[in-house]
C-alpha cells in the first residue's frame, strides 16, 4: 500500500464504458420495484441480486423478494419462496449462489420458522439448506471462490456442540464433507462472549473475516467496541485486524469487513481515529466520521483509504488481489486503486454527470474489471424511468487512468478539501472533471 502522504490522481477523464442495467426485462422495461445487493462472478459475466419486482420474469406471483441471476442468457429467478429471499453471494464461476431466506418451501422439512441460509446449484437446479434447520435465525452468507465453503452468522445454538454463549456466532459449512464448524472463537477455542456477524471468506475459504463485539477473542481487547477479526481455519488462530501498525485496537467501533482472495488484505469501516498514525484527529466537538480502512496482515500496516473525505463511507468491497476497493459515500459509489489511493466516481452515466439518486452496495468482480451496484437514480441509462432502486454493472474505470504523481502539500495531508489536477478537481474526496466541478459543490 502507498505512503498516505503521496497520492496519485489521474489526468485522464477516467471513464470507459457506460453502466448497464441488469434488473430489467429483455425489452428494457425496468423492475417495477426495488432491486438490491448485487454479487458478481469472477469475470463479471454473472450477477446475482434480490428484487421485489414482480415483472422481471413471467409467472412471478409470490409477492415477496426473490433472488435473481443475470448472465449471458438473460435473467432467471432462482427462488420461488413463500417468504423473503435476499443477501445473495456467488461463486467465482457463477454456478453456485448462496442466499438467506425466511421461506419454508425451498427445501422439504423446513419447519424451524426462522431465516435460513441456502445454496442453489445453477447446473443441477437443486437448492439445499446449509444452516441445517437451526433453531434460530441464520443469515449473511459468504461463499468461497469454488463454492465449497459457505460462512454465515446465526443465533442458533444447535449448529455445533457446546454452543452456550447465547450470542450470534459465525459458522463455516463445508459442502463437500457436510461438516459445520464455529469460527468466531478465540485461538484457544473459547467461545465469544459477545455477538459475531458479517462473515467474509477468502478465496479458498481458509480465512474468515467477521465483526464481533466480544472482548475475549484476542488478548488486550479492552476498547469495549466492535472489532474486525480474521480466523485462520487451518491453524485455528484468531487475530484482530481493526488495529494500527503498533498493535493498538481501534478506539471506536469497526465492522463490515471485506477480504482479498489470499486473506492478506482486509477492508473495513470504522469510526476509530487511531488506526493510521498520520490521521488528523477531529476538532473537539466535530462529528466523527466513518471511514474505510485497509489492513495488510503481512506488514501490519493500516491505511485510511478515504482520508480525503469529510463525510461517512461504508459498504467496502475488495478485488481478489486487494488492489481495488469500492465503497459508498455521499450516496455515490467510488472505486479506489490501493496502489496509488487514486479514487474515481463509479455511479455516473457518462463519467461526468452525477447520478440523480443515491447509489450504494458497490461490489467488485474478483478480477477487478467490473463493478455492480444498486442505484435509485433515473439517469444512469436511457429508457423508461425506473421505480425504486435498480442493479447496474459497469467496467471498473480505474485501470483506464493515465497517472501523474501529485504530492500533497503538508496542509492538504492534514485536512484536504479541494485539490486541483490538470483537468479535474478533488472536492471532499470526490474526483470530477473541472467542467463538472460546479455540480459537486
| Domain membership flag for residue 440 | no
| Residue 161 CB neighbour total at 10 angstroms | 8
pLDDT digits 0-9 by tens, 236-281: 999 999 998 888 899 999 999 999 999 999 999 999 999 986 555 5
| Domain membership flag for residue 415 | no
The C-alpha angle 409, 415, 419, rounded to 5 degrees, equals 55
- CATH number for the domain spanning 39: value is 2.120.10.30
| Domain membership flag for residue 44 | yes
Domain span including residue 66: 6-404
Q: State pTM to two decimals.
A: 0.86
pLDDT digits 0-9 by tens, 8-65: 333 233 345 789 999 999 999 999 999 999 999 999 999 999 999 999 999 999 999 9
Total domain count, the chain: 1
| Residue 193 CB neighbour total at 10 angstroms | 14
Percentage of residues in the chain having pLDDT higher than 90: 75
| CB contact set of 371 (below 8 Å; sequence gap of 6+) | 40, 326, 333, 335, 346, 362, 363, 364, 365, 393, 394, 395, 396
| Domain membership flag for residue 438 | no
| Domain membership flag for residue 245 | yes
Strand partners, 196: 212
Amino acid at each position: 500500500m502507498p505512503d498516505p502522504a503521496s497520492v496519485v490522481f489521474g489526468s485522464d477523464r477516467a471513464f470507459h464504458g457506460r453502466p448497464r442495467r441488469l434488473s430489467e426485462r429483455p425489452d428494457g422495461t425496468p423492475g417495477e420495484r426495488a432491486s438490491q445487493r448485487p454479487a458478481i462472478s469472477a469475470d463479471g459475466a454473472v450477477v446475482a441480486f434480490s428484487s421485489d419486482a414482480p415483472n422481471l420474469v413471467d409467472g412471478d406471483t409470490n409477492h415477496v423478494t426473490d433472488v435473481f441471476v443475470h448472465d449471458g442468457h438473460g435473467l432467471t429467478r432462482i427462488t420461488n419462496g413463500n417468504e423473503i429471499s435476499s443477501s445473495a453471494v456467488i461463486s467465482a464461476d457463477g454456478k453456485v449462489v448462496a442466499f438467506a431466506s425466511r421461506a419454508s418451501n425451498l427445501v422439504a422439512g423446513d419447519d424451524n420458522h426462522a431465516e435460513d441460509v441456502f445454496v442453489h446449484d445453477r447446473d443441477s437446479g437443486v437448492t439445499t439448506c446449509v444452516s441445517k434447520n437451526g433453531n434460530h435465525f441464520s443469515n449473511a452468507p459468504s461463499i468461497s471462490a469454488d463454492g465449497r465453503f459457505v460462512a454465515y452468522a446465526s443465533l442458533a445454538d444447535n449448529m455445533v456442540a457446546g454452543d452456550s454463549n447465547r450470542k450470534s456466532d459465525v459458522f463455516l459449512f463445508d459442502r463437500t464433507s457436510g461438516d459445520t464448524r464455529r469460527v468466531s472463537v478465540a485461538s484457544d477455542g473459547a467461545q465469544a462472549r459477545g455477538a459475531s456477524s458479517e462473515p467474509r471468506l477468502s478465496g479458498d475459504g481458509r480465512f474468515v473475516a467477521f465483526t464481533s463485539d466480544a472482548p475475549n477473542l484476542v488478548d488486550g481487547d479492552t476498547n469495549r467496541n466492535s472489532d474486525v477479526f480474521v480466523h485462520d481455519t487451518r491453524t485455528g488462530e484468531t487475530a484482530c485486524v481493526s488495529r494500527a501498525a503498533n498493535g493498538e485496537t481501534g478506539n471506536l467501533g469497526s465492522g463490515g469487513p471485506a477480504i482479498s482472495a489470499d486473506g492478506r488484505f482486509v477492508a473495513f469501516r470504522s469510526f476509530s481515529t487511531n488506526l493510521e498514525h498520520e490521521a488528523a484527529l477531529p476538532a473537539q466537538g466535530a462529528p466523527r466520521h466513518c471511514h474505510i480502512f485497509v489492513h495488510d496482515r503481512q506488514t501490519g500496516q493500516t491505511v485510511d483509504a478515504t482520508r480525503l473525505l469529510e463525510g461517512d463511507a461504508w459498504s467496502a468491497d475488495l478485488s481478489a488481489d486487494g488492489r481495488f476497493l469500492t465503497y459508498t459515500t455521499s450516496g455515490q459509489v467510488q472505486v479506489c486503486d490501493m496502489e496509488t489511493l487514486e479514487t474515481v466516481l463509479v455511479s455516473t452515466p457518462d463519467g461526468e454527470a452525477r447520478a440523480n439518486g443515491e447509489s450504494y452496495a458497490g461490489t467488485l468482480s474478483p478480477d477487478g474489471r467490473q463493478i455492480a451496484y444498486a442505484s435509485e437514480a433515473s439517469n444512469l441509462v436511457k429508457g423508461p424511468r425506473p421505480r425504486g432502486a435498480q442493479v447496474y454493472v459497469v467496467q471498473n474505470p480505474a485501470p483506464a487512468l493515465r497517472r501523474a504523481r501529485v504530492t500533497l502539500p503538508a496542509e492538504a495531508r492534514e485536512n484536504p478539501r479541494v485539490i486541483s489536477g490538470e483537468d479535474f478537481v478533488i472536492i471532499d474526496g470526490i474526483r470530477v472533471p473541472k467542467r463538472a466541478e460546479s455540480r459537486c459543490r
